[in-house]
Every structure is written in C-alpha cells, then in structure tokens.
Amino acid sequence: MLKVIGLKKKYGKHTALAGLDMNIKKGQVYGLVGPNGAGKTTAIRLIMGLSHMDDGQIIINGTDARKKPLKVKEMIGYVPDNCGSYFNMSVNEYMEFFAAGFGISGIKAENRNLKLLEQVGLEDKVEFIADTLSRGMQQRLSLARALIHDPEFLIMDEPTSGLDPRNSFEFKRLVKELKKSGKTVLISSHLLSELSEICTDIAVIENGMLAAQGSLTEILGRIEHSNPIKIVV
C-alpha cells in the first residue's frame, strides 16, 4: 500500500528526515512511533503532499506520489495532528463542506455524513458548533471527515495525543473497526503503549531515521531483550 524509500527533508540546516524507509502492506495497522522531534509529522506531511521532500520516493498503491499527487490524495483519508479552526461551522456544515470537496452533495452527502457521524458516535451532535466539541469528539469528527470519500488507506498523526483514557480507548476501538473492515492504517504516536493494542506492525523512528521495523511481537521482544530501542514504552 505504501512504500517510502530514502525520504529526506531539511528545515534550513536542520535535518528532520535523513533517509527514512517504510513499507506498509494492505490491511496492516502500522504504527510509527518515536520521541518528540523524531520526524513523524514531517514524514506524514510529505506522504500527504503538504510539504516538499528534498529526496526520496513515496509510492502509494503503485502510484508515485510526486508524479500524481491528486490521485494519491484521493486514496488517503488524513487525520492531522491539529484540526485547526472549524470557522464557526456546525458538525453537519463541516461534514457537508468536506463532502462537497469530493463532489458528494445533496441527499447522498446527507446519508453518508449521518452514517459516518453514527459510526464515530457523534450523531446527536450534528447541530453543535464544531469548535465547542471536546478534543475527543473533535478527533472523532476528524476521523469521520477522513472517511467521507471511503479511502482504502488512512493516515493518522498522533490522534490519541492529549486524549483522556476513555476517549483514547474509544478512538482506538474505532481504529480496530476500520481494520476489521479491511482498511490499511498508518498511525503515529510518541508512545508505543498507545499503539500496542491496535497495531500489527511497528516502525520506530529516531532522528529522522528508521531505528527498527517489524511485527509488534518482534519489536516488543527486542525491547524485552534490551536491544537499544530508546523509545518511551
């Protein structure tokens, strides 16, 4: 589903990514874990085409992201680390706005949006102003928005960061449901413990490089045998 090869990015003289490689297969829930500043958001922003890479290659479902950025964007649902402002829109207006961006409108949009809001447990919040929702609800709204065009692949940047245990649990339950329905997911966190319940595979990123990659069992095994993966568990 996603192949990242030798991805490099500098901000001025600072190297954020120093040749990152990743390989995500269809159906995997792939965790990208690393400490603050490791390069997780930079990698995700490059994959989403929101920032330019200095070098490397990103292939999504066989398509080179640099050559066909729009085609690639249609294949992905993106949950950013920061939703930004909702411009005083209600939950319903917010969903309609993004549905229109994918050419979905009228009764089709109404039905689709209601189904997605039900899926994330926000069906009783349709008239609420999105800015007034709790962080947990906003993250679930962000997930509903990411699913509008029914993408095969979801990319989530630290979606459980700052959530209380109940909201974090609920978000992870939704990710498990997405896996069951056949979606492929890339999800980042600075805590392996946040990802260990939901991920099949883990990549550990440190200083903009891949420090370890493998199944969850392999990575946990390496930590247990004190192989030097210096991440917070």
- Contacts with ligand ATP, residue ranges (CB under 6 A): 11, 14, 16, 34, 36-42, 190
Which amino acid, 130?
Answer: A
> Is 50 or 100 the residue whose CB approaches ligand ATP more closely?
50
Give 3-state DSSP helix, strand, coil % of the chain, rounded to 5. 35, 25, 35
Six token digits for residue 115: 């189904």
In angstroms, what is the minimal distance from the CB of 231 to ligand ATP? 11
Who's near 116: CB < 8 A, 6+ residues apart? 95, 144, 147, 148
Query: What gap in Å lies between CA 153 and CA 164, rounded to an integer?
Result: 26
- Helix locations, the chain, DSSP H: 40-47, 69-75, 91-101, 106-119, 135-146, 165-180, 192-195, 216-224
CB atoms within 10 A of CB 150: 11
In angstroms, what is the minimal distance from the CB of 182 to ligand ATP? 28
Six token digits for residue 139: 């993250």
> Is 15 or 196 the residue whose CB approaches ligand ATP more closely?
15
Q: What is the full DSSP assignment across 84-105? A: ---TT-BHHHHHHHHHHHTT--
In angstroms, what is the minimal distance from the CB of 213 to ligand ATP? 16
In angstroms, what is the minimal distance from the CB of 11 to ligand ATP? 3
> Is 34 or 136 the residue whose CB approaches ligand ATP more closely?
34
Tokens 């990411």 belong to 146
> Is 51 or 57 the residue whose CB approaches ligand ATP more closely?
51
In angstroms, what is the minimal distance from the CB of 16 to ligand ATP? 4
In angstroms, what is the minimal distance from the CB of 61 to ligand ATP? 24
> Is 31 or 109 the residue whose CB approaches ligand ATP more closely?
31
CB atoms within 10 A of CB 199: 26
